[in-house]
Amino acid sequence: MLVSVFAFLPKGNNAPDVPQSSDAPSASPNSTAQATANPTSGNLDPFRIIQTGIESPRPTSSPTPLHDPGLIESAQTMNSSVWRSVAAYAWNYYAPGTGVDPNTGLPRGGGTDAPNFTDWDLGCYIQAVIDAQKIGVIGTGGAWNSSQRLEIVVKFLETRELNSTTGYPFWFYQASDGKDYHTDSDHATAPVDGADTGRLFVALNNLKFYNSSLAGRINDIVLNGQNLNRSNYAALVPAIKADSFSANNIYAYYIGSGFASFWPNELAGVPDRILNNIVSNGNVTYNGVWLPKAGLLGDPLYCSVFELNSNNPQLMTIAKQVYLAHEAYYNDTSQFRAFSEGGTLSDHWAYEWTVMPDGRTWVVLDETGALYNNNPIIYTKVSMSFLALYNTSFAKNMTAYLEHNLPDPTSGYCEGVSESNLGLTGVGVHTNSLILDAALYAIQHQ
C-alpha cells in the first residue's frame, strides 16, 4: 500500500495500516555510493517514510530539584540582551564534544547519548550555525567558527556515502566518522527519507542566502546529483506536487516549502496550496479558540514561522491560534502545555498534535502511530517559541517554570518537563536549534 507523500503522520512513524518490511536495503559501511538517475525503487514515494520510518529515542531522565530563579524568571523585560543570553545558552549544545563530534565536526542528534544524526538533524545544525552567527554568539573566523563548521557540512554532503541500492542518503549517519549508522538505517522500508530531505532543503536554501559563495556547491548537491554521482532529488518532485493538492498538515507545508525553494517553477504554488488546504477544511473550537481541522504540531509550525522568512498571513494566523489554544488550556486546567514532537520519559518518541484533521485536539501518538497515554512533555523549544512570538505573561511564566525545574543550560537547553513534573533532562539538536530560531526572531522583531 502506497500512502500519500504528504501523509498525515510525520516522519519517524510506523503507522499500523502500512505493511512493515524486515528486508530493507542496507549497505556495508565501506560500500561505494552510487547515485542513479533512475533509482531502482520503482514508483518513488518520497514521503512514505512518514508512515514507515523509525526514530532513535533520545535520552530520558529522572526528576530534577527546583533551583534559584533563572534567566527568564529574573528578566524584568524580554529585551534583546536577554534573548542574546538565551541564544548563548542554546549554542552551548553545539560545543565540540557535546552536540558536535570534536574529530569530524558533524552534529550529534542527542549529544553524547545519541551520537548519530539524520538529515533533519543536519538541517537543524546548519540553521543553528546561521542563527548563532547572526545573533553574534559565534564569529566567522578562527577555530570552530561558522565558516569552518559550514564548510565541514557542505563537504560532507558532497562526499558522504549513499545507499548503493537507491542512490539516496542513509536515514542515519554516525557523527564519529560520517558513515552509515546501521543500527537504525537497516530498518529503512522506503528508498528515501523525504521528510528529513525537505527539512534539510529549508536549511540549505537559507545557507545559500547567508553565504552566497556556497550557492553553487549547494545547487550541485541538490539539483545536479544525477550528473555528479549524488542523489537524484529531482525524481521526487512530481510526487511533491501531486500530493500538495490534498495535503493538510503542517509537516507537508514545511517540507514542501523546502523542495519548492529549489524547484520554484515546477512546484510553484505548492506551499500556498497546502496552507489553503489547512484553512479550508473547516474548524473546531476549543474553549473559545478556533483551530483548523488539520495536522498541527509545534516543531514544523514554528520552524516554518522562523525559517521560511515569508510571514505568510495564513501561516501567522495558524501559529497564533495554536498558541491561543495552549493558553486556553492553561486557563481551564492550570496546567502548562507546549505540544510538539520529541523524546519522552519512556523509550518512545512522541508526536503531540494540538489538533488533527478529524477535529480531535490534544492527541499524542508514539512512533508506531498508536495513542501514547503517558504524560505529555512540556517542550522547552515550543515554550520559548511562544515567548519570542507573543511575549505574554503565560509564555514567560511557562518558560520560567521549565527553567526552574530543569538543570542550568550549561550544555544547552534540556528537552522539557512532563505534565507530571518530571524533568526530561537530555539535550538535543532539535531543541536548541529551534530556541536559536526563536531568539533570532525576537531580536529582529522587537
Provide the CA 63 distance to its chain's centre, in angstroms: 26
Residue 52 predicted with pLDDT over 50:
no
Q: List pLDDT tens digits, range 230-273.
A: 999 999 999 999 999 999 999 999 999 999 999 999 999 999 99
- Mean pLDDT, the chain, rounded, equals 87
Question: Residue 420 domain-assigned?
Answer: yes
Backbone phi, psi, residue 369, to 5°: 90, 5
Residue 91 predicted with pLDDT over 70:
yes
Which residue in 181, 302, 326 sits closest to 253, CA to CA? 302
What pTM was estimated for this model as a whole?
A: 0.88
Q: Please tell me the predicted confidence (pLDDT) of residue 66.
A: 61
Confidence of residue 189 (pLDDT cuts 50, 70, 90): confident
Residue 348 grid cell: 518512545
Q: List pLDDT tens digits, range 116-147.
A: 999 999 999 999 999 999 999 999 988 899 99
Largest CA distance in the chain: 59
* 8 Å CB contact between 258 and 195: no
Whichever domain contains 267, its CATH number is 1.50.10.140
Question: Residue 308 domain-assigned?
Answer: yes
Confidence of residue 69 (pLDDT cuts 50, 70, 90): confident
* 8 Å CB contact between 167 and 87: no
Question: Residue 207 domain-assigned?
Answer: yes
Question: Residue 3 domain-assigned?
Answer: no
Residue 93 grid cell: 549544545
| Lowest pLDDT segment from 176-180, 287-291, 371-375 | 371-375
Q: Please tell me the predicted confidence (pLDDT) of residue 65.
A: 52
Domain count, the chain: 1
Q: List pLDDT tens digits, range 323-366.
A: 999 999 999 999 999 999 999 999 899 999 999 999 999 999 99
Question: Residue 15 domain-assigned?
Answer: no
For residue 233, the number of C-alpha atoms closer than 13 Å in the C-beta half-sphere is 26
Residue 396 predicted with pLDDT over 80:
yes
Which residue in 189, 235, 202, 236 sits closest to 119, CA to CA? 202
Domain carrying residue 159 = 49-445
Which secondary structure element, helix H or strand E, spans residue 252, and what is its range? Answer: helix 250-260
How many distinct helices (H) and strands (E) make up the chain?
16, 11
Residue 428 predicted with pLDDT over 90:
yes
Residue 24 predicted with pLDDT over 60:
no
Q: How confident is the model over 290-317, as a mean pLDDT?
A: 96
Question: Residue 285 domain-assigned?
Answer: yes
Residue 438 predicted with pLDDT over 80:
yes
Sequence letter at residue 281:
N
Which residue in 361, 355, 404 sits closest to 380, CA to CA? 404
Q: Please tell me the predicted confidence (pLDDT) of residue 310.
A: 80
Residue that wins the pLDDT comparison between 66 and 400: 400
Question: Residue 421 domain-assigned?
Answer: yes
Question: Residue 158 domain-assigned?
Answer: yes
